[in-house]
């Protein structure tokens, strides 16, 4: 009887220990994600640069007046021309009376004088010069109106469906508008397409015509991980800031629009970035060209076909959720040769925390030709009996 009690006593405590361990693990995995910070800005958005995943947002598709955030598109088109070779930083630009007459923030260029493209670019990005915006627009497209047409065509190409430009500088106009979601698309494109040009957004000051001006993005001084991008302000738009930062190989982009002061837009941008870096993580799940799975293919000169993705696939999730990440591979029931590279033949369903987070098409990574007549007959017979 005593032996029975001792044996069962040990079993009981073993079971109790296992249950406590299970509950402990369950509590760790079930820890809720803290809610995003509540900001006073009219609209805001926080995304991961690589995956494009939205981490926090408020009214991100509402139209707003972009003010000097317009200059991100102006700079993007300048970067595109520099990359094409149709423009160089050494090119001289003769300043027009119209460019010099621009009100608001300026780099103080003078009509009739020659300024290099390189100086104008820094006047545009660092000093937020309305005069620099117009001078570059006129140099590239002969007129600001012609340049605005280029801006709107590029917005359409980038799928910025809530944006319309009326000028190159961001001066108020009832038909000049954008959204936080569209600004995120534009910021991602700038960083990804022209990384060397984007590095100019980290420049803290620029001196032209013996006038030194500091970059209005004060996060450059406050947070070493921030390396851009742009401020904007008008009475109607309020105080706006698009910012980007990198920590531990993870880049986030924050957009804060319609804050009530410069101090507020800086503080709220910082809160968004800190929230994203603290609670989220981005990982590459599949590499471009990596064999994710193999599938049976019929009537071909090989019986297996490799499946994968054409581009690197990154996923952004709450940090603890990666422990529950699972991929379920689904392939077409009957794959028949011939098959071409890039042909969609299945999908990978990624789940985490008991929910589907992504569904990724799986593509053929190799070409499979149709087999000979006798092989096709053999496969037809096998398929019939299956």
Active-site annotation holder among 43, 60, 68, 133: 68
Name the percent of the chain in helix, strand, coil, to the closest 5: 40, 30, 35
Phi, psi for 9 (deg, rounded to 5): -65, -45
**Token output for 366:** 């190799």
| Residues 268 and 43 sit within 8 Å (Cβ to Cβ) | no
Number of helices (H) and strands (E), helices first, in the chain? 11, 16
Alpha-carbon distance 215 to 202, whole Å? 9
**Token output for 357:** 């987070």
* Known catalytic membership, residue 42: no
Active-site annotation holder among 43, 60, 105, 128: 128
Alpha-carbon distance 25 to 41, whole Å? 38
**Token output for 36:** 């995003």
Tokens 């670019």 map to which residue? 121
| Residues 353 and 315 sit within 8 Å (Cβ to Cβ) | no
Cα–Cα nearest to 148, from 127, 167, 126: 167
* Known catalytic membership, residue 218: no
Alpha-carbon distance 212 to 265, whole Å? 24
* Known catalytic membership, residue 128: yes
**Token output for 42:** 């009219």
- For residue 254, cis peptide bond before it (omega within 30 degrees of 0): no
DSSP state of 254: E
> CB under 8 Å, gap of 24 or more: what pairs does 209-217 form?
209/107, 209/108, 209/109, 209/110, 211/107, 211/108, 213/107, 213/126, 213/127, 214/126, 215/126, 216/128, 216/262, 217/241, 217/243
Active-site annotation holder among 71, 244, 254, 321: 71
Residues marked as catalytic:
68, 71, 128
């Amino acid at each position: 009887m005593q032996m029975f009690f001792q044996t069962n006593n040990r079993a009981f405590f073993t079971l109790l220990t296992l249950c406590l361990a299970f509950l402990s693990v369950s509590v760790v995995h079930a820890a809720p994600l803290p809610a995003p910070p509540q900001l006073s800005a009219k609209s805001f958005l926080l995304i991961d640069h690589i995956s494009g995943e939205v981490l926090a947002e408020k009214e991100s598709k509402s139209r707003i007046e972009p003010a000097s955030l317009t200059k991100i598109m102006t700079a993007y088109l300048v970067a595109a021309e520099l990359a094409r070779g149709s423009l160089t930083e050494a090119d001289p630009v003769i300043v027009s009376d119209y460019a010099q007459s621009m009100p608001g923030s300026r780099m103080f260029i003078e009509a009739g004088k020659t300024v290099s493209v390189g100086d104008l670019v820094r006047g545009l990005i660092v000093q937020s010069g309305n005069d620099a915006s117009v001078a570059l627009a006129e140099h590239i497209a002969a007129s600001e109106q012609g340049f605005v047409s280029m801006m709107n065509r590029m917005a359409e190409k980038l799928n910025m469906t809530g944006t319309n430009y009326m000028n190159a500088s961001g001066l108020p106009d009832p038909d000049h508008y954008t959204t936080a979601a569209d600004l995120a698309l534009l910021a991602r494109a700038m960083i990804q397409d022209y990384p060397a040009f984007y590095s100019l957004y980290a420049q803290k000051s620029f001196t032209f015509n013996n006038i030194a001006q500091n970059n209005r993005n004060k996060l450059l001084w406050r947070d070493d991980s921030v390396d851009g991008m742009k401020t904007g302000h008008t009475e109607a738009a309020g105080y706006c800031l698009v910012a980007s930062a990198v920590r531990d190989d993870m880049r986030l982009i924050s957009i804060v629009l319609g804050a009530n002061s410069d101090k507020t837009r800086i503080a709220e941008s910082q809160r968004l970035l800190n929230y994203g870096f603290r609670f989220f993580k981005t990982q590459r799940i599949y590499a471009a060209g990596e064999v994710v799975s193999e599938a049976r293919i019929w009537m071909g000169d090989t019986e297996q076909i490799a499946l994968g993705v054409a581009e690197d696939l990154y996923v952004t999730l709450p940090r603890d959720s990666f422990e529950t990440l699972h991929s379920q591979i689904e392939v077409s029931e009957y794959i028949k040769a011939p098959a071409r590279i890039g042909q969609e033949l299945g999908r990978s369903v990624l789940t985490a925390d008991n929910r589907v987070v992504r569904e990724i098409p799986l593509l053929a990574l190799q070409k499979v030709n149709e087999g000979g007549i006798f092989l096709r007959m053999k496969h037809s017979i096998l398929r019939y009996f299956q």
